[in-house]
Chains A and B, each alone.
Chain A
Amino acid sequence: MSVIIILLLASISVAALFLVAFLWSVKTGQYNDELSPPMRMLLDSVPAKESSEPAKVESL
């Protein structure tokens, strides 16, 4: 019986992990632009040099 409780906690925490991942991805603006990333990944050349503060650029 206690094994079910452990499983239950495990499954809930795994699901919660995904929820947090989802919320994080929304918050960091990964859904703001759904068109450019698919194009960007097909381009061969080196992407733009990392800025000293890349986070600022990303989150507008």
Chain B
Amino acid sequence: MSEISVSQKSKVQCYHCGEDCDEKTIIAHDKHFCCDGCKMVFEILNKTGMCDYYTISDNPGTNQRIKIREDKFSFLDDHKIQSALLSFTNDTETHVNFYLPQMHCSSCLWLLENLHRLNEHVIGSKVNFERKEADIVFNHEHVSMREVAELLASIGYEPYISFKDLKQQRPNLNMTKIYKLGVAGFCFANIMLFSFPEYLGIDSQEVFLQGTFRYMNIILSLPVFFYSSSEFYISAWKSLKHGFLNIDAPIVLAVIVAFGRSLYEVLSGTGAGYFDSMTGIVFFMLIGRVLQDKTYQQLSFERDYTAYFPIAVTRIKNEQTESVALPDIVLDDTLLIHHQELIPADGILTRGKALIDYSFVTGESIPVEKEMGEIVYAGGKQIGSNIEILVIKEVSQSYLTKLWNRSELQRDRNDEERSFVHLLSRYFTWILFAIAISAAIYWWIIDPTKIGHVVTSVLIVACPCSLLLSNTYTNGNILRRLGRNQFYLRNAQTIEDIANINYIVFDKTGTLTTGRYQDINYEGETLSESIKRKISVLASHSTHPMSKAITVWAKQGDHQNIHIHDFKEIPGKGIEGTVEGEHLKLGSAFYVKKAEQGSALDSAVFVSVNGIVQGRFGFRNHYREQVPALMTRLRKLGYPISILSGDNAGEKEYLEQLLGKDTPILFHQKPEDKLEAIKMIQASGKKVMMVGDGLNDAGALKQADVGIAITENTATFTPASDVILEASMLPRFHQFLLLCKANKVLVWTAFIVSILYNIVGESFAVSGNLSPMVAAILMPASSITILLISFGASNLLSWKMGLK
């Protein structure tokens, strides 16, 4: 035992991935590595002289501790799958686009764009960093798609290919709004230029020049009127057809009236018209739209179960294994499921011992043991050795898929009609009409010749653009601010929805707790260091998550040289074995103590040495940082909280202590139960926000007024939701709520300012004195004020909160 060398440099960072080398340090090429995987990547790069990878950024790699199964990408040999994935192919080269979630720094970019140096048959590659994708061109005569995928995996960038990729191509980005904005900007700026002579009082002698400028304005305003504004026409027309006035209706009215009147003025030679104001409205409006439409390309809020499934699984047919795409699985197929693989369809276990982690589907944190002949449901993840299942339901018919296809989850919410801005705009439109009509009546009495002039002026100057601008600019800015803090909203309407929330429901497993770590507390006889080490050795031979947790807990230095004899693992019971002459047993009360003891709720593991029981390990889910503080803050802000957990009630006391006795905490909640619970709360008139993480929350997330999906890593799968929140930012959750609430105040403030501008403008218009120059000054001035208010105030606010 004394020869065991223990690396005592406690905090050595892995040269490749930068993680602490806690378990065992591998020293190669004078560098420290945390695992073989990291070392291998380094060696591949070293061999081809690509160590620049390590100089561009420090420790640029991602951890390689979990090995990738050897034939994982064998499905890429299938021609049907290949043709679904590739984007272009000819005689010699093939273009394929892979999603590489591990991409994160400039080193990644460099390495991925130098793939041709690793394999000469790769012709080129181009990275899209925002989408974390790489377009790879390779010569398919010499290298197959599978080999390309394996090359990427071997250097630590395992392509993520899901079932969804097969079914549909990602839609191309919609750039039409940008084109429209560009055209509007061009026309607006030039019209402004040509209008200056009018404002500055062009010499009435220069009739020819004046005419030229005016006609140029007409020509320049045509693209804006017919092309750039089409956005608003379509939206206004749609809402009119549904029988209500949305905010675009008064804009369209203003644009049409301004254009018509200007055209009349110029053609009849009575004036210069309001082309500059009209194009200005459209331009500023489009800026707002583009800002608000900025989406997070790398995130998908609309995922369904297909994104969760692998693209293909291994089927056993006539004693041979083959890769089969998911839709091609039929009844009575025998599937081979490897360690860490998902079960794609409901089936009967026919070989091997199953230990299935359903945490993502049901929320239970402890994996379930299944014996041969039992039914296993789709969506579970096998842990441990390989198993074989006989398919009894096809993928599209299985439990998980059905859960997803429940009809009430298909509903679409009409975003537009919910916003208070649209309610305001309706009043705005009616008030506008009232002003126009009363002005018309007044002038009809005083001077009927001026009616046309006054009414059109009223409609032109009173366009609600400042209202819309204040809304779109503030929303757009808050969206960006929240996004920078890893709180990604699906769209701008979600801000308002969040502000209106008055009830918060949390899921437990994976949301308040981390899925990965478990807290262990040991009760019983004190364990000596050598016993601890032996326990650790024993536990390390099992893949059960509890054993893994014990391995880490009991770890005492390096135990590579310690051997184990007579190792036995009885599924669902425990493990035993002889380590250095001592017989150790780890397992349930019955297994270790031969006695039925302990509550069913408690998932304790007992340990015995040479038949003498030493003590028990208690497990508790590890709560995320600052969860208690967050709960206190949310309660202080006046949000009632409740917790829905799919797990057992083992932690009821702890949660009650955390949240107070009056908080409803429900356990053993199936996905349907969660959905019903949300409905019940909504029925009592509350606006509910659901915070969850797994498929088991998917129904509740959709049913809730706002569904927030928590994820450790935005690159991985999350269920469909309105918001995606990175787990590390959970402690700041209450600040995000506050910021969303402040958004409404800001919009109102900006709106009031715009009303003041409108009053000024209207007073000019009603009195019949609106000159094109006043309009041209008022419009941009109000827009810029609004811009300053919304940007300035929201930035100041988030800065005060200490947000990025």
Whether A associates with B in a native complex is yes
Cβ of B483 under 8 Å from chain A: no
Q: Does A8 contact B116, Cβ atoms closer than 8 Å?
A: no
Closest beta carbon of chain A to B771's beta carbon, Å: 24
Q: Which of B175-183, B377-385, B408-416, B431-439 contacts A (4 or more CB under 8 A)?
A: B175-183
List residues of chain A with CB within 8 A of the CB of B123.
49, 51-52
Q: Does B126 contact A43, Cβ atoms closer than 8 Å?
A: no
Cβ of B151 under 8 Å from chain A: no
A36-52, CB under 8 A of B: which get 1 and which 0? Answer: 10011011110111111
Cβ of B640 under 8 Å from chain A: no
A15 CA to B192 CA in the complex, in Å? 13
Q: Count of A residues near B, CB < 8 Å?
A: 38
Residues of chain B in range 221-256 having any CB-CB distance to chain A below 8 Å = none
Q: Which of B129-137, B267-275, B654-662 contacts A (4 or more CB under 8 A)?
A: B129-137
Closest beta carbon of chain A to B530's beta carbon, Å: 52
Q: Does B97 contact A34, Cβ atoms closer than 8 Å?
A: no
Q: Does A32 contact B130, Cβ atoms closer than 8 Å?
A: yes
Cβ of B113 under 8 Å from chain A: yes
Q: Does B182 contact A33, Cβ atoms closer than 8 Å?
A: no
Q: Does B110 contact A8, Cβ atoms closer than 8 Å?
A: no
Q: Does A1 contact B130, Cβ atoms closer than 8 Å?
A: no
List residues of chain A with CB within 8 A of the CB of B129.
33, 35-36, 39
Residues of chain B in range 489-506 having any CB-CB distance to chain A below 8 Å = none
For A51, the closest partner residue in chain B by CB is B124
List residues of chain B with CB within 8 A of the CB of A22.
182
A23 CA to B209 CA in the complex, in Å? 31
A43 CA to B52 CA in the complex, in Å? 10
Q: Count of B residues near A, CB < 8 Å?
A: 42
Closest beta carbon of chain A to B17's beta carbon, Å: 20
**Do A36 and B190 contact each other (CB < 8 Å), given the known contacts A8-B216, A43-B56, A57-B137?**
no
**Do A26 and B135 contact each other (CB < 8 Å), given the known contacts A5-B212, A35-B129?**
no
For A46, the closest partner residue in chain B by CB is B114
For B178, the closest partner residue in chain A by CB is A26
Q: Does A23 contact B130, Cβ atoms closer than 8 Å?
A: no
Q: Which of B93, B97, B186, B206 has the most CB of A within 10 A?
A: B186
Q: Does B209 contact A48, Cβ atoms closer than 8 Å?
A: no
Q: Does B178 contact A51, Cβ atoms closer than 8 Å?
A: no
A31 CA to B182 CA in the complex, in Å? 13
Closest beta carbon of chain B to A39's beta carbon, Å: 4
Closest beta carbon of chain B to A44's beta carbon, Å: 8
A58 CA to B173 CA in the complex, in Å? 14
A7-40, CB under 8 A of B: which get 1 and which 0? Answer: 0100110011011001100110001111110011
Which residue from B126, B127, B175, B216 sits with its C-beta under 8 Å from A27? B175
Q: Does A48 contact B128, Cβ atoms closer than 8 Å?
A: no
List residues of chain B with CB within 8 A of the CB of A12.
190, 216
B102-138, CB under 8 A of A: which get 1 and which 0? Answer: 0000100110011110000001111111110001010
Q: Does A56 contact B95, Cβ atoms closer than 8 Å?
A: yes
A56 CA to B393 CA in the complex, in Å? 42
For A54, the closest partner residue in chain B by CB is B124
Cβ of B597 under 8 Å from chain A: no
For this complex, 7 residue pairs linking A to B, each with C-beta atoms less than 8 Å apart, are A26-B179, A33-B127, A34-B130, A48-B116, A49-B116, A49-B123, A60-B97
Contacts from B to A (Cβ < 8 Å): 52, 56, 87-88, 93, 95, 97, 106, 109-110, 113-116, 123-131, 135, 137, 172-173, 175, 178-179, 182-183, 186, 189-190, 193-194, 206, 208-209, 212, 216
Contacts from A to B (Cβ < 8 Å): 1, 4-5, 8, 11-12, 15-16, 18-19, 22-23, 26-27, 31-36, 39-40, 42-45, 47-54, 56-58, 60
